[in-house]
Structure 1
Amino acid sequence: MEKAVVITGMTKQYPNGRGIQNINLIINQGEIMGILGPNGAGKTTLLKCITGLSSLDSGKVELFGVDLLNYYKEAIRPVGALIGPAAAYENMTPYKNLKMISRFYSGVSPSDIKEVLNITGLTPYKNEKISSFSMGMKQRFGIASALISKPRLIILDEPTNGLDIDALLMLRKTIQEISSTSGVTFVISSHHISELEKLCDRFCFLIQGQVSFYEEGSEPLEDVYIKKVGGLVG
């Protein structure tokens, strides 16, 4: 099976002592990998390092066999990401925002934009200004912008934040359908155990900058998580 992400010895430390240390992680193509950890554990730092938004102190990242540091443009081309708040021109509609974003990629047609709006549940609001959107709807737009380039790898940092139950169900269905029909790989971070448990194929814990893996069937995921974080569920 082709490896979508290979991380070797990844270390990124900040002056305040936070960060990640000596991360080793392999994610196979087509997997939905969940990264669990309390707030401040280093989840966002890990995802920023995978996408090149943060530089490494040491270590290596390969995306579909291409070294991120030495061949950044080639490595990042098949990647879509939502890390932090969705970036958008709020005085514009989601359709116009996506149309503008699509100019950075080749082969994105108006029908592709309509499809992305449809699968994220934004079609009824495609002509409304994003400034009128709720936090959850802005999060949906962020996911739409991550999908527009037809990526092979999609990285989502806390994508369930601000979503109501309908949006959560739609997000879960969308990710599972894209993964199963197109073989797209997802890396999703969260501190919401129940949501990731319903969505992901495999899990790892990121706690105090260190990775450990959940062995399927060993114990309930929530019990293992609580043990690993010392009883503090973030």
Structure 2
Amino acid sequence: MENAVVLSDVSKRYANGRGIKNIELTVQKGDVLGILGPNGAGKTTLLKCMTGLAKPDYGRIEILGYELEHDFKQAIRYVGACIGQGVMYENMTAYQNLKMALRFYGDVPETSIDEVLELTGLIPYKYERLASYSMGMKQRFGIATALISRPKLVILDEPTNGLDIDGLLLFRKTIGELANNSDVTFLISSHHISEMERLCNRFCFLINGELSFNETNQLSIEELYIKKVEEGSHGFSKS
């Protein structure tokens, strides 16, 4: 199977000593990879490096067959991401925000707006200003912005934070359908182990900026997480 993401010896260190170090990661097309770790472990830094929002100190990142550093536009063309709050114009409606986002994707039709709002359960609220949205609705909108370009790779940072039960159920359904029916690849960071276990077919643990995989299914994901945190390092691939 083709690779969607390949990271080789990727490191990024901030002045406070936090960051990621010597990351080796391969994600195949159609995978839903959960990146699990506590707050401050380096999850957001890792995702920012994959999307060009942060520049690694060294290492190589390949996205959808293109090297990020040398072919950035090609590498990022079919990537959708929601990292942090993203860009939201709160005095504009959801529809207006997404229509503005479409200006960056000339070949994506305007019908994509209603498609992603339907996927995220926001169709009834598409003409409401984002300022009136609840935290959970804004989280759904962030996911909608990640999907608006009809991407082949979707990168989401803590996407389930603030979602209610209905939002979680819809999120699971959307991820499953896109991964299984459209071969979309997902990288999802979280510290919510039980939710990631429902969503993902592969897992890794990022602890203290280090990532690795442990090819075993003898322990539950929660047991592995506790074990890796205690050890200070990290990983598991569900088979």
- Fold-level similarity (TM above 0.5): yes
Once residues 7 and 175 of structure 1 are traced to their aligned partners in structure 2, the CA distance between those partners, rounded to angstroms, is 23
Once residues 90 and 108 of structure 2 are traced to their aligned partners in structure 1, the CA distance between those partners, rounded to angstroms, is 22
Structure 1 residue matching 2:211: 3-state secondary structure: strand
Match of 2:30 in 1: 30
TM-score under structure 2 length normalisation: 0.94
Structure 1 residues 69 and 132: CA distance shift in structure 2, 3 A: same
Match of 1:69 in 2: 69
Once residues 118 and 79 of structure 1 are traced to their aligned partners in structure 2, the CA distance between those partners, rounded to angstroms, is 20
Once residues 29 and 132 of structure 1 are traced to their aligned partners in structure 2, the CA distance between those partners, rounded to angstroms, is 37
How far is 1:106 from its partner? 1.9
How far is 1:216 from its partner? 4.8
Structure 1 residues 48 and 176: CA distance shift in structure 2, 3 A: same
How far is 1:128 from its partner? 0.8
Unaligned runs of 5+ residues in structure 2 are 233-239
Structure 1 residue matching 2:160: 3-state secondary structure: coil
Highest relative contact order (Cα 8 Å, sep 6+), 1 or 2?
Answer: 1
Match of 1:7 in 2: 7
Match of 2:183 in 1: 183
> How many matched pairs?
232
How far is 1:229 from its partner? 0.8
One-letter amino acid of the structure 2 residue matched with residue 120 of structure 1: T
- Equivalences for residues 140-219 of structure 1 within 5 A: 140-219=140-219
Match of 1:133 in 2: 133
Once residues 218 and 13 of structure 1 are traced to their aligned partners in structure 2, the CA distance between those partners, rounded to angstroms, is 34
Match of 2:236 in 1: none
One-letter amino acid of the structure 2 residue matched with residue 42 of structure 1: G
Q: Deviations over 1:69-122 (max 9, x none)?
A: 011111111100000013211111101111111111022223211111101000
* 8 Å Cα contact 1:8-1:60 kept in structure 2: yes
Once residues 214 and 140 of structure 1 are traced to their aligned partners in structure 2, the CA distance between those partners, rounded to angstroms, is 32
Once residues 108 and 170 of structure 2 are traced to their aligned partners in structure 1, the CA distance between those partners, rounded to angstroms, is 23
One-letter amino acid of the structure 2 residue matched with residue 37 of structure 1: G
Q: Deviations over 1:34-87 (max 9, x none)?
A: 000000000000000011110011100001221100111111111000000132
Unaligned runs of 5+ residues in structure 1 are none
Once residues 132 and 37 of structure 1 are traced to their aligned partners in structure 2, the CA distance between those partners, rounded to angstroms, is 32
- Equivalences for residues 72-87 of structure 1 within 5 A: 72-87=72-87
Match of 2:54 in 1: 54
Once residues 35 and 191 of structure 2 are traced to their aligned partners in structure 1, the CA distance between those partners, rounded to angstroms, is 8
Once residues 204 and 190 of structure 2 are traced to their aligned partners in structure 1, the CA distance between those partners, rounded to angstroms, is 11
Once residues 65 and 86 of structure 1 are traced to their aligned partners in structure 2, the CA distance between those partners, rounded to angstroms, is 26
How far is 1:212 from its partner? 1.8
Percent of paired sites with the same residue: 61
* Structure 1 moving runs of 4+ over 3 Å: none
Once residues 69 and 168 of structure 1 are traced to their aligned partners in structure 2, the CA distance between those partners, rounded to angstroms, is 35
Match of 1:45 in 2: 45
Structure 1 residue matching 2:219: 3-state secondary structure: coil
* 8 Å Cα contact 1:102-1:148 kept in structure 2: yes
Match of 1:114 in 2: 114
TM-score under structure 1 length normalisation: 0.96
How far is 1:231 from its partner? 9.0
Match of 1:228 in 2: 228
Q: Deviations over 1:12-35 (max 9, x none)?
A: 001111101100000000000000
One-letter amino acid of the structure 2 residue matched with residue 196 of structure 1: M
Greater shift, 88-97 or 223-232, is seen at 223-232
Structure 2 residue matching 1:162: 3-state secondary structure: coil
Structure 1 residue matching 2:230: 3-state secondary structure: coil
